[in-house]
Amino acid sequence: MSEPPDFIAQIERIIATQRDRMFAPQPIERLAWLRVFVPLAILGFLSSRIVHADDWLSSAGFHPPSLLDDWRQPASLAPVEPTTAWLIAGALVIAGLGASLGLATRWTTMLFAGLLAYTTLADRLEAFTVSKLGTILVIALALSPCGARYSVDAWWRGRRHPQRHVPALCEGGSVRFFQILIPVFYFSSGICKATGDWLTNPYVLWTHLHDSYQTPVSLFAANHAPPWMWTVLQATTLILEAGAPLWFGWRRTRPYAFAYGVAMHAAIGLMFGPVIWFSLLMIVVLVASYAPIRWLRPWARGPASSRTATPRAARSPAIKSAG
């Protein structure tokens, strides 16, 4: 027996509504925030390597042997000459700062993404989360219209064409990628924790305070905070990460998940030394993806900065490329 036609039509309307909501144009300030601060966080992480570029990328430093026959190794890049290593490091800094400023945005973001991919593969011993995640983030920015506003490119176009329309919205997919990345990232981390010791040992988080990344903040916290507090924080962190698709997907819980995520990464940055750059990167993505849009607009100027992605505005044309 076939379903009633009105039931099928209702299901189709629900699907169409959710699809339109998912891909509706988004405020371009979210992309601008990412473009400005993601490259700066990545360059901050790489700064200790950039100042020793010859040891980092060239034959002057130590590099593990080639593993071309190992399926777990995506690529094995031979070290370059010291002069070439310094040129790569210089180009990395210039491309990253150019992307942050929105100067020749399409070209600088593509160059920055390519150099990040190269250095991540060439530096297998120190390719941490910022190296890998940062590369993906910049590739996504390079494929988005992140330089269409609040950039040197936008300023220059405004000088040449004063009557040119200033975009307030961008294609929804450019922002949704980052919004979806956060819960997927957390969920994967939560599954790894749950299959490890986080469900069987109540003091896993407490033991992390005593490793080589210890800071004065973590030393003080380990000596003065009650032991049960670390068990509670361990449980709430696992609940957030394992349930991230629900917490960030449901409108009512999203603000609390956002606040917990920012607080969590702030604490990580204060208590685990070099991990501060990872914390800053995650806070940047969290704020750009889930903070109320009015938080991102005070730093922006121009009459269009007060526009919001209301249903009426969502039907207006959204910019698709940086131009």
Q: How confident is the model at residue 311 (pLDDT cuts 50, 70, 90)?
A: very low
191 and 124 in one domain?
no
Residue type, 288: A
Q: Residue 254 domain-assigned?
A: yes
Instruction: Give the pLDDT confidence score for residue 7 in this predicted structure.
Output: 78
Locate 162 and state its tokens: 């004063």
131 and 55 in one domain?
yes
How large is the C-alpha radius of gyration of the chain? 22
Residue 4 has pLDDT above 70, yes or no: no
Instruction: Give the pLDDT confidence score for residue 166 in this predicted structure.
Output: 81
Q: Residue 320 domain-assigned?
A: no
Asked if 241 contacts 190 with a C-beta cutoff of 8 angstroms, the reply is yes
The sign of the torsion formed by the CA atoms of 256, 217, 234, 280 equals: positive
Instruction: Give the pLDDT confidence score for residue 123 in this predicted structure.
Output: 85
Kindly report, residue by residue over 63-74, the tens digit of the pLDDT.
Answer: 887 777 777 777
Instruction: Give the pLDDT confidence score for residue 137 in this predicted structure.
Output: 97
| Range list of β-strands (E), the chain | 26-27, 169-170
31 and 149 in one domain?
yes
Report helix angle 29-50 to 82-101, nearest 10: 160
Q: How confident is the model at residue 172 (pLDDT cuts 50, 70, 90)?
A: confident
Residues linked to residue 319 through DSSP beta bridges, in sequence order: 170
Q: How confident is the model at residue 33 (pLDDT cuts 50, 70, 90)?
A: very high
What's the Cα-to-Cα distance from 153 to each of 33, 116, 145, 306, rounded to whole Å?
15, 23, 11, 21
Kindly report, residue by residue over 241-262, the tens digit of the pLDDT.
Answer: 999 999 999 999 999 999 999 9
Looking up tokens 């002057």 gives 60
Q: Residue 313 domain-assigned?
A: no
DSSP sequence for 166-225: PP-EE-HHHHHHHHHHHHHHHHHHHHHHHHTTTTT-TTHHHHGGGSTT--HHHHHHHHHS
Residue 140 domain boundaries: 25-154
Q: Residue 223 domain-assigned?
A: yes
Question: What whole-number distance in Å separates Cα of residue 207 and Cα of residue 219?
Answer: 11
The sign of the torsion formed by the CA atoms of 22, 26, 289, 173 equals: positive
284 and 201 in one domain?
yes
Q: What is the pTM of this model?
A: 0.86
When pLDDT is averaged across residues 282-291 and rounded to a whole number, the result is: 96
137 and 242 in one domain?
no
Instruction: Give the pLDDT confidence score for residue 308 in this predicted structure.
Output: 39
Higher-pLDDT residue of 284 and 21 is 284
3-class DSSP state of 303: helix
218 and 134 in one domain?
no
134 and 194 in one domain?
no
The least confident of 81-85, 94-98, 155-159, 242-246 is 155-159
Question: What whole-number distance in Å separates Cα of residue 102 and Cα of residue 96?
Answer: 10
Q: Residue 100 domain-assigned?
A: yes
Q: How many domains does the chain have?
A: 2
105 and 35 in one domain?
yes
116 and 42 in one domain?
yes
198 and 142 in one domain?
no
Q: Residue 264 domain-assigned?
A: yes
When pLDDT is averaged across residues 183-201 and rounded to a whole number, the result is: 95
Tell me what the pLDDT averaged over the chain comes to: 87
Instruction: Give the pLDDT confidence score for residue 70 in this predicted structure.
Output: 72
When pLDDT is averaged across residues 273-302 and rounded to a whole number, the result is: 86
